[in-house]
């Protein structure tokens, strides 16, 4: 599998937190780890995926979307000289956004590994997504959508992204119903 730019046409972005060099978020498709994402997809906390995907399918999913990877540096290097690569990072989270890069965004497959939860990484991740799809950065955005079944997450996404509940999807295969959330942020 070769590397490819995200199909959204948006430039690669990387975020770091002030006074912290261990974690960073990037849309660089070259950093994505199919193995790490599939390992997360095989865990119970990623309840919406029943089983891992074939690697070529997952590669297409990740590279055909705007994927926000959450990474931990695995080698201690001075932050000013750190150059991220798959060799010196561990992927610990993801938010995959299916988008045309201008008018539409569907948020999917958002997670932080349980071991790293409680560090504000999920808030930071969705904040980076919100920044990318803000009116300043994407003035023609007409719709942003997602599915969730967690009432707590519905409130979180409502606050962070301005989405509201507009319907329900029956999911007998999951044993739970998903709530469809949507916003027309710049309409």
Which of 64 and 168 is assigned the larger pLDDT? 64
Q: How far is residue 69 from each of residues 30, 62, 97, 128, 138, measured CA to CA in Å?
A: 10, 10, 11, 11, 20
Averaged pLDDT score across all residues of the chain: 87
Please report the pLDDT score of residue 10 as a whole number. 85
Over the stretch 80-138, which tens digit does the pLDDT of each residue have?
A: 667 888 888 999 999 999 999 999 999 999 999 999 999 999 999 999 999 999 999 99
Which of 20 and 134 is assigned the larger pLDDT? 134
User: Which tokens hold the place of 157?
Assistant: 């996404």
Please name the residues in contact with 70: beta carbons below 8 A apart, sequence gap of 6 or more: 23, 24, 25, 91, 92, 93, 94, 112, 116, 121, 125
Which of 138 and 169 is assigned the larger pLDDT? 138
Domains and CATH numbers, the chain: 14-140 (3.40.630.30)
Please report the pLDDT score of residue 118 as a whole number. 93
What is residue 53's DSSP assignment?
A: P
Q: How far apart are the first and last CA of the chain?
A: 39
Answer for the pair 151, 187: CB distance below 8 angstroms, yes or no: no
In percent, how much of the chain has pLDDT > 70?
Answer: 90
The pTM for the full model equals 0.88
Over the stretch 56-68, which tens digit does the pLDDT of each residue have?
A: 999 999 999 999 9
């Amino acid at each position: 599998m070769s590397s490819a730019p995200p199909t959204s046409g948006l430039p690669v972005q990387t975020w770091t937190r002030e006074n912290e060099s261990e974690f960073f978020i990037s849309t660089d498709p070259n950093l994505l780890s199919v193995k790490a994402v599939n390992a997360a997809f095989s865990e119970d906390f990623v309840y919406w995926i029943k089983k891992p995907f074939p690697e070529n399918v997952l590669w297409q999913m990740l590279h055909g979307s705007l994927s926000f990877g959450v990474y931990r540096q695995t080698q201690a290097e001075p932050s000013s000289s750190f150059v991220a690569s798959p060799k010196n990072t561990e992927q610990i989270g993801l938010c995959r956004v299916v988008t045309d890069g201008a008018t539409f965004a569907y948020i999917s497959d958002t997670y932080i590994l349980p071991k790293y939860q409680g560090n504000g990484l999920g808030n930071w991740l969705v904040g980076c997504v919100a920044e990318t799809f803000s009116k300043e950065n994407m003035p023609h955005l007409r719709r942003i959508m997602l599915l969730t079944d967690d009432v707590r997450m519905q409130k979180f996404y409502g606050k962070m992204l301005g989405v509201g509940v507009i319907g329900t999807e029956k999911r007998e295969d999951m044993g739970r119903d998903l709530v469809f959330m949507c916003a027309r942020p710049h309409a």
